[in-house]
Amino acid sequence: MRTVDDFKNGQVLLIDKPLEWTSFQVVNKLRWHIKQRFHLKKIKVGHAGTLDPLATGLLIICTGKETKNINTYQGQVKEYTGTFTLGATTPSYDLETEINQTFSTAHITANLLTETTQQFTGNIQQKPPIFSAIKKDGKRLYELARKGETTEIKAREVTVFEFEITNVTLPEVSFRIVCSKGTYIRSIAYDFGVALNSGAHLSALRRTKIGDYAVKNALKIEEFINSLEVE
């Protein structure tokens, strides 16, 4: 049974983020319920690594003094599973925006897909999506993108430790990727499409691991709230 002191001294909560929730909405929801349960005016609660609203899966939430260690959790290796849809691109590289170009997929084979993954394994250069939370000149890139403004984004080095194709039902291709902090799976989707001489966008994404923490051990938001009431 967790006490108010447990939450103040620091807890690491594993939460399975639902689709269409922002990471900040999850933090705010949990903070509100912890405050209500223990009649607190304030308590520190933060997440260790953003998930896009269209992604699901593991969020590490820290409370109290444990929020000081958020950067340690953020820096750990991540594992994702998901789906690329081939033959079409979107400006955001995912389903946030509408399809803007279509391409043939007639030449794509299972062997070509497997061979192409090798181009994206190891240390790679990638440009973050224009629809991202990275700041430039004090503004987030997605704010500029939604206004139709273009800006030059510098490529950055990230590391992909594992990249495997787990299922192919064209135009959908399922994958598993293990990568370093700062890797944009949406950018891999776009670049993968280019490398295939086609196009691609990310149509589903789930974070399954952060370091040694796994989503199979995470609680749904309602499960966590119910556990507070039991305690």
Residue 36 φ then ψ, to 5°: -65, -45
123 and 36 housed in the same domain: no
Q: Read off the CATH number of the domain in which 162 is found.
A: 3.30.2350.10
Q: Look at residue 179 and give its three-state secondary structure.
A: strand
Is 52 a residue of the active site?
yes
Residues 17 and 107 in one domain: no
> Is the same domain home to 52 and 152?
no
What is the average pLDDT score of the chain? Answer: 92
Task: Give the contacts of 94 (CB within 8 A, at least 6 positions apart).
Answer: 52, 54, 129, 131, 186, 189, 201, 202, 203, 205
Domain that holds residue 37: 4-75+212-230
Are 169 and 119 found together in one domain? yes
Residue pair 80/204 in contact by the 8 Å Cβ criterion? no
pLDDT digits (tens, 9 = 90+) for 42-95: 999 999 999 989 999 999 999 999 999 999 999 999 999 999 999 999 999 999
* Residues 108 and 129 reside in one and the same domain: yes
Residue 87 has which token pair?
């033959």
- Number of domains observed in the structure of the chain: 2
Check whether residue 14 and residue 39 sit in a common domain: yes
Average pLDDT score over residue span 181-198: 96
**One domain, residues 64 and 104:** no
User: Mean pLDDT over residues 13-21, rounded?
Assistant: 97
Classify residue 171 by its DSSP letter: T
86 and 167 co-located in one domain: yes
Q: Which of 16, 52, 94, 191 is catalytic?
A: 52
Q: Given a cut of 80, is residue 201 above it in pLDDT?
A: yes
- 107 CB-near residues (< 8 Å, 6+ apart): 197, 198
Q: Could you tell me if 47 and 13 are in contact, meaning their C-beta atoms sit under 8 angstroms apart?
A: no
